[in-house]
Structure formats: structure tokens, C-alpha cells
């Protein structure tokens, strides 16, 4: 009994902290997120992508079949569990498999093709947390499903490129083709033969991948592996006619669009469903010299069939939002600031507070950017808050004003206070705000002309 009380006491004292690998997105960071979400919505509108939302959980088997059992994501990183109905489900580690599942399940095959979809939201991977790598992170996804033409690969890359451009981030598309089930086996054999010569020097992980997934050795992060694969044979030299033609067309479209790209035979991606085009988006090296990819994608013509659908070509990309936000901050790229507030509504006394509640609604409905200090008691505290928020005017409603049918308007810059008729307060506020706006415009004009 004593022990139980002791545990209860300790539990009460315990200060909880974030689960490892997770991240709070605090109010001061929200402007970056809103800015990015806004850009994504506008790009989606421009290129006719429709938003889709899927559950965070899917059947574990869906990811096994699509992402692949021999990948890090499925082997080590999935949050998988049995629910109370004994169903094996997983928190989504990515969107593409779920989007393909939804496309098949809802018969989108019968819609005019291609179907263009985009999605935003959290994904989960139980990875080692480090800079730019979280266990819960957010992705932006754009997918074009139901069309094999290379123009779709180019359009998806264009959308990705524009996303980064509009955040003032210089990026280069690292692009490759990993062929198709017809031409890849030959290349895999050539690659295996090459790698076998260095078997004893390969890292432990790459040694294991040699027989099952040799392509992944090409993008190993281990220094020794990187040295070995430097001179490895390249898939582009082993593409079949169809894949070569497709790749050339994608590159020609990128040339036409003047999108900077670099051919990179090591971009094979960490998911098994890719065919033909694969690409990653890398920032042009910053001062810190870090080189972590911002996003990646590619074509996945075989995925629908793998999960029970009809053959359906598709291409898409995803970008991590946390990585975008941290780069925007690091490079001080401009973002849309939250709208500034014009008016603070202060009150003194219970009766004034009652009136202030409804007056706030009236001001808001009149399109005035207003905030309030309804939960605060003293006038001093409310004026301090108003100052902090940088409003132009504070409306003060006290007992006396209530009896007189007036309201006090305080100019926060000069500290001048005027009493106005309460019935005309909206008009009076609008008049003053308009005058302040005209003054600012005049000032801007003078500073644009410069000293005479
Ligand atoms: P992915 O390369 O695995 O591709 O992930 C895409 C992006 O998600 C990465 O480039 C990165 O920005 C972000 N990301 C991935 N893991 C983490 C993490 N642990 N912490 C923070 N950010 C992370 C895919 O997921 C494919 N589904 C992309 C795709 C769409 N392919 C075709 N369509």
C-alpha cells in the first residue's frame, strides 16, 4: 500500500516530455507551415491536382507488397501492431501505397485518365532520430496515376521544382532511370558481378543486400561502399529500347522547361515499387555543406498490379515538410507573415465585459482586424498586451463609458485618447484606420522618391 502511494506521488511529480523522434510544431513556427500549405494548394490548383485524404493506418501487407519486404522501411521502420480485432495494421510510412489502394478501391480507373491527386499529412518511420529525420514527419505528395507518357514525369518534377523555387530555395534534380522488369534483371546481374569482386570490403548491410537488393548498395551512406560503387556499371547503359526512349524524353522536357538536373546513377531510392524514372531533389549546397535530400519520387508503373489492381502506370513525388521548414529558416527565405491586428478591445468591470463580448463580434463582422483582452482584469495588463501585439488603436470600455454610452479610443503610438459615441464606434474606428493607411502610403511614396 505504502509503495503504491509512493508511486502515485512520484507519478504526480513526473513532467512528461515528447516521445523520442517526435516534434511539436509551436505557434511561432506555424507561419512556415501555413506558407508551405498555401503554396501546395496553389500549385495543385494550377496543375489540376485534386486533394485526397486517407487514414493514417493501412494493412501492414499493403506496405510489404508495395514498398517491399527487403527495404529499410518495411524491415525496420514501420510502426506495426495488431489491433483489438487481431488485424495487422501499420501507421503509414509514406503515402503512395495508400493513394494507389484508394485509386483501385474507389474505381478511379473509370475516371478520365490520368487522375492527379495530392495529399498532405503525417507519416511514421521508426528511424534513428537526427537532424531532418523524425519518427513522425509530414509529407507533401503529388501523384499522376493512369498515364505512362514521359510528359507526366516531367510535370511532376516541374511541380516539385516550382514548390522549392517559390520558397526561394535553389535545388537541383538528381535524376536516374532504373529500367523496368524487362531490362533491370540483366543490369542487376552485371552489378552483382561487379560488386562480388569487392564482397569482403562491403559494409555488413550492403553485403547482405548483395543477393536480394543489389541496387540499394548504390545509394549506401557508408564511405567504403561509396568508394566501391563509384566505378560500378550504370543502369542507363543497360536500358531496353522503351526505357531509354522514355528517359530521353523526360530529359528533353526538363531541358525545355529549363529545370536544372544532374544525371545521377546512384539515385535508386529506398522503395521497391519504382520503375524507369527515379529522382531526388537536392538543395544547392548551403553554407553548412549539408546535403540531405528534400524530396524524391519517380515512376511506379507496376505498383497497382502488386496490390491487386489492373496494370496502371503512375508517377509522383513527395517532399518532407520539416526539411523544407528548417531550410527556409536557415536561409531566411521570405514567408507570408500572419496578418497584423489593428484593434485591441480592452474592458474594465463585469458589465463592460458583458458588452465587450458582443462588441467584439460586431467589430469582427465589420471586417476590422480585432483582438481582445476579455480574460484580463487590469487595464495596465491589457494595454501591455495591446502594445506587444502592435495594434494601432485600443478601444477601452469601462463602467463610466457604459453609463455614458461612449467608448474611449487610444492611439497606441501617441498615447492620445478620445471619447466617441458608442453607437458610432465602428465608423470612428474605420475612419482612423483609413487615415493611418493613407499616411503610410504617402510616407512610402516619399521614401520611394528619395531625398530631393
Ligand atoms: P521517400 O524518399 O521515402 O519517398 O520520402 C520522401 C521525403 O520524405 C524525403 O525526401 C524526406 O524529405 C521526407 N522524409 C522521409 N523520411 C523522413 C523522416 N524520417 N523525417 C523527416 N522527413 C522524412 C517516398 O515516401 C515516396 N512515397 C515518394 C513518392 C511519391 N514516390 C512516388 N510518389
| pLDDT higher than 50, residue 287 | no
256 burial via Cβ count (<10 Å: 0-12, 13-18, 19+): exposed
As a whole number of angstroms, the distance between CA 142 and CA 164 comes to 14
Is residue 406 domain-shared with residue 326, that is, in the same domain?
Answer: no
As a whole number of angstroms, the distance between CA 64 and CA 66 comes to 6
| 246 C-beta closer than 6 A to ligand 1 | no
Report the CATH number that the domain containing residue 79 is assigned in CATH. Answer: 3.30.930.10
The answer as to whether 5 is a domain residue is no
pTM, two decimals, is 0.90
Residue with the smallest CA separation from ligand 1 atom 15 is 320
Is residue 415 domain-shared with residue 300, that is, in the same domain?
Answer: no
As a whole number of angstroms, the distance between CA 331 and CA 294 comes to 14
Residue with the smallest CA separation from ligand 1 atom 18 is 133
Is residue 45 domain-shared with residue 143, that is, in the same domain?
Answer: yes
Q: pLDDT confidence of 246, banded at 50, 70, 90?
A: very high
414-429 average pLDDT score: 96
Q: Which domain holds residue 409?
A: 343-428
The answer as to whether 125 is a domain residue is yes
Q: pLDDT confidence of 440, banded at 50, 70, 90?
A: confident
Is residue 153 domain-shared with residue 268, that is, in the same domain?
Answer: yes
| 142 C-beta closer than 6 A to ligand 1 | no
199-224 average pLDDT score: 90
The answer as to whether 216 is a domain residue is no
Is residue 313 domain-shared with residue 380, that is, in the same domain?
Answer: no
**Boundary-marking domain end, from 266, 297, 330:** 330
pLDDT given for residue 83 in this prediction: 97
Is residue 410 domain-shared with residue 317, that is, in the same domain?
Answer: no
**Boundary-marking domain end, from 276, 303, 330:** 330
Is residue 93 domain-shared with residue 168, that is, in the same domain?
Answer: yes
pLDDT given for residue 11 in this prediction: 65
Q: pLDDT confidence of 437, banded at 50, 70, 90?
A: confident
| 93 C-beta closer than 6 A to ligand 1 | no
| Closest listed residue to residue 22, CA positions, set 112, 129, 103 | 129
The answer as to whether 385 is a domain residue is yes
What is the sign, positive or negative, of the torsion defined by CA atoms of 321, 325, 330, 333?
Answer: positive
| 23 C-beta closer than 6 A to ligand 1 | no
Is residue 67 domain-shared with residue 113, that is, in the same domain?
Answer: yes
The answer as to whether 443 is a domain residue is no
**Boundary-marking domain end, from 282, 302, 330:** 330
Residue with the smallest CA separation from ligand 1 atom 8 is 320
Q: pLDDT confidence of 280, banded at 50, 70, 90?
A: very high
Task: Spell out the alpha helix ranges (H) of 312-410.
Answer: 321-330, 350-365, 379-389, 399-404
pLDDT given for residue 7 in this prediction: 66
pLDDT given for residue 284 in this prediction: 84
Rounded to the nearest integer, the mean pLDDT of the chain is 93
| pLDDT higher than 50, residue 452 | no
| pLDDT higher than 70, residue 173 | yes
| pLDDT higher than 50, residue 259 | yes
pLDDT given for residue 450 in this prediction: 57
Is residue 302 domain-shared with residue 353, that is, in the same domain?
Answer: no
**Cell numbers linked to 408:** 474611449
The answer as to whether 156 is a domain residue is yes
| 318 C-beta closer than 6 A to ligand 1 | yes
Range from 117-131, 354-368, 433-447 carrying the lowest mean pLDDT: 433-447
What spacing in Å lies between the alpha carbon of 296 and ligand 1's midpoint?
A: 6
Is residue 324 domain-shared with residue 347, that is, in the same domain?
Answer: no
The answer as to whether 390 is a domain residue is yes
Is residue 90 domain-shared with residue 43, that is, in the same domain?
Answer: yes
DSSP state of 133: B
The answer as to whether 209 is a domain residue is no
| pLDDT higher than 50, residue 288 | no
Q: Mind listing the pLDDT tens digit for each residue in 392-401?
A: 999 999 999 9
Query: In total, how many domains does the chain have?
Result: 2
Q: Which atom of ligand 1 is nearest to the CA of 133?
A: 20
Contacts of 87 (CB under 8 A, 6+ apart): 59
> Does the bond joining 143 to the residue before it have cis omega, within 30 degrees of 0?
no
Report the CATH number that the domain containing residue 370 is assigned in CATH. Answer: 3.40.50.800
Our mutation pick for probing the ligand 1 site, out of 52, 75, 94, 325, counting the most ligand atoms within 8 A of Cβ, is: 94
Q: pLDDT confidence of 368, banded at 50, 70, 90?
A: very high
| pLDDT higher than 50, residue 147 | yes
151-172 average pLDDT score: 95
Is residue 66 domain-shared with residue 118, that is, in the same domain?
Answer: yes
As a whole number of angstroms, the distance between CA 435 and CA 412 comes to 15
| pLDDT higher than 70, residue 2 | no
Amino acid at each position: 500500500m505504502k509503495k503504491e502511494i509512493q508511486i502515485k506521488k512520484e507519478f504526480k511529480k513526473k513532467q512528461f516530455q515528447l516521445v523520442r523522434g517526435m516534434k511539436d510544431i509551436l505557434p511561432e513556427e506555424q507561419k512556415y507551415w501555413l506558407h508551405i500549405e498555401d503554396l501546395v494548394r496553389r500549385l495543385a490548383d494550377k496543375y489540376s491536382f485534386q486533394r485526397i485524404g486517407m487514414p493514417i493506418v493501412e494493412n501492414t501487407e499493403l506496405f510489404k507488397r508495395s514498398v517491399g519486404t527487403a527495404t529499410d522501411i518495411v524491415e525496420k521502420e514501420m510502426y506495426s501492431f495488431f489491433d483489438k480485432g487481431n488485424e495487422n495494421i501499420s501507421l503509414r510510412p509514406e503515402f503512395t501505397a495508400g493513394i494507389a489502394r484508394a485509386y483501385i478501391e474507389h474505381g478511379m480507373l473509370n475516371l478520365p485518365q490520368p487522375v492527379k491527386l495530392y495529399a498532405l499529412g503525417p507519416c511514421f518511420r521508426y528511424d534513428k532520430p537526427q537532424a531532418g529525420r523524425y519518427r513522425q514527419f509530414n509529407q507533401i505528395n503529388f501523384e499522376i496515376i493512369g498515364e505512362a507518357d514521359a510528359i507526366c514525369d516531367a510535370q511532376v518534377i516541374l511541380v516539385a521544382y516550382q514548390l522549392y523555387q517559390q520558397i526561394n530555395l535553389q535545388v537541383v534534380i538528381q535524376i536516374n532511370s532504373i529500367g523496368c522488369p524487362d531490362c533491370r534483371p540483366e543490369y542487376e546481374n552485371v552489378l552483382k558481378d561487379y560488386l562480388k569482386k569487392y564482397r569482403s570490403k562491403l559494409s555488413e548491410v550492403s553485403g547482405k543486400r548483395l543477393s536480394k537488393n543489389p541496387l540499394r548498395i548504390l545509394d549506401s551512406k557508408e564511405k567504403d561502399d561509396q568508394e566501391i560503387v563509384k566505378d560500378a556499371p550504370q543502369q542507363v547503359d543497360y536500358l531496353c529500347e522503351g526505357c531509354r526512349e522514355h528517359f530521353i524524353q523526360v530529359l528533353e522536357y526538363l531541358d525545355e522547361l529549363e529545370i536544372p538536373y544532374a544525371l545521377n546513377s546512384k539515385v535508386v531510392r529506398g522503395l521497391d515499387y519504382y520503375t524507369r524514372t527515379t529522382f531526388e531533389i537536392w538543395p544547392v549546397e548551403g553554407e553548412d555543406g549539408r546535403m540531405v535530400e528534400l524530396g524524391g519520387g519517380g515512376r511506379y508503373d507496376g505498383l497497382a498490379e502488386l496490390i491487386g489492381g489492373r496494370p496502371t502506370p503512375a508517377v509522383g513525388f513527395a517532399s518532407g515538410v520539416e526539411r523544407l521548414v528548417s531550410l527556409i529558416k536557415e536561409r531566411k527565405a521570405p514567408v507570408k507573415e500572419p496578418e497584423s491586428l489593428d484593434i485591441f478591445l480592452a474592458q474594465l468591470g463585469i458589465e463592460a465585459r458583458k458588452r465587450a463580448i458582443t462588441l467584439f463580434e460586431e467589430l469582427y463582422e465589420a471586417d476590422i482586424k480585432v483582438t481582445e483582452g476579455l480574460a484580463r482584469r487590469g487595464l495596465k495588463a491589457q494595454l501591455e498586451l495591446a502594445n506587444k501585439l502592435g495594434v494601432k488603436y485600443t478601444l477601452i470600455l469601462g463602467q463610466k463609458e457604459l453609463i455614458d454610452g461612449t467608448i474611449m479610443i487610444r492611439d497606441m503610438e501617441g498615447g492620445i485618447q478620445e471619447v466617441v459615441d458608442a453607437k458610432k464606434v465602428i465608423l470612428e474606428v474605420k475612419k482612423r484606420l483609413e487615415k493611418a493607411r493613407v499616411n503610410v502610403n504617402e510616407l512610402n511614396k516619399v521614401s520611394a522618391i528619395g531625398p530631393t
